[in-house]
Amino acid sequence: MLDVFLQTFPFFAIIGLGYGAGKSGFFPPEATAWLTRFVFYFALSALLFGFSAQMTLSEIFDPRAAGAYILGCTVVYALALAVAFLRHRPLTEAVMEAHTAVIGNTGFLGVPMLVLVLGAQAAATVLLVLVIDLILFSSLLTIIFTIVKEGRLSSRMPRVIGVGLLKNPMVVSMALGLLWSATGQGLAGPISATMTLLGAAATPGALFAIGASLTNNRAERLTVAGWLSFAKLVLHPAAVGLAAFYIFDVAPFAAGVLIATAALPVAGNVYILAQHYNVAVARVSAAILISTLLSVATLPLVIAQFTG
């Protein structure tokens, strides 16, 4: 446990450094926005392209691991929906809370941290989770909100979802990497060196941006935010773990990576979605802040317990 904590400490230290820079005003919100854009569109995309260009689709898509993760997410998603409905919240708020309970910070925190801590062999499973989050659950959110808004399932829905995916650089970079891998040709030396150099900026840049962005989050609606943080940090990895070990019989290492990925704090892009739809903004903001702070202790514990 101590060894894992020491391995993960630098990641959280950089998040803390970013938070301090943002809180002091030295790193204003405008700087955070531009750093996030650089990481999202360039550094992280290069990192994901580099990983996927060295893999095949079959290496990433493990049906058992995918089934375990989707089932675990579905159970927690349904539970969060039920709790919201018991509080008499409308469908849009219930769906946003459920989304908060299962979408972790896989891109900005999971990819750099888990691959470095657990080794390159963890990359395929982490990328699998990222794909499921981006394609399955993000599309589900879009579909539900569109139905609520328009009162029906629009014929333009596939186009809306398709355009949204094509505008996401993480999806595009992974797809391009897999397409390149399918050619059987390795990356040319200068291209590989460029991807490596640019991708190296993803880890410190993403972590610093996470910390700086937390200064915009407020610890409001603590009861609900606390529940959502508990769902994300405890119930989500527990459900994924039970599905992986007892239903889908996932290989031990892959199962451990699935559980560790599920134990990541709430993703920052959930707040962007909440703002976009103007739904449960304060609750989501507080859940991101609380879950990120608590994950300093909970994530190393999960990693040590299930991947050691």
**Burial environment of residue 304 by CB neighbours within 10 A (0 to 12, 13 to 18, 19 or more):** middle
Tell me the C-alpha distance between 53 and 194, whole Å: 14
- Report pTM: 0.88
Tell me the C-alpha distance between 290 and 287, whole Å: 5
Evaluate whether 288 touches 217 at the Cβ level (below 8 Å).
yes
pLDDT value of residue 85: 96
3 state DSSP class of 91: helix
Reported residue count of the chain is 308
Per residue of the chain (308 residues), give pLDDT as tens: 677 788 888 888 999 999 999 999 999 999 988 998 899 899 989 988 988 888 888 888 899 999 999 999 999 999 999 999 999 999 999 999 999 999 999 988 888 899 889 998 999 999 999 999 988 998 888 888 878 876 666 667 677 777 777 788 888 898 898 898 888 887 788 888 998 899 889 889 988 988 888 887 665 567 899 999 999 999 999 999 999 999 999 999 999 999 999 999 999 888 888 888 889 888 888 899 899 999 999 999 999 998 86
pLDDT value of residue 220: 58
pLDDT value of residue 154: 65
pLDDT value of residue 64: 97
- Strand partners for 104: 266
**Burial environment of residue 88 by CB neighbours within 10 A (0 to 12, 13 to 18, 19 or more):** exposed
pLDDT value of residue 82: 97
Half-sphere exposure of 231 (CA within 13 A, CB side): 30
- How many C-beta atoms lie closer than 10 Å to residue 215's C-beta? 20
> What domains can be seen in the chain, in order of their start residue?
2-307 (1.20.1530.20)
pLDDT value of residue 228: 96
pLDDT value of residue 280: 87
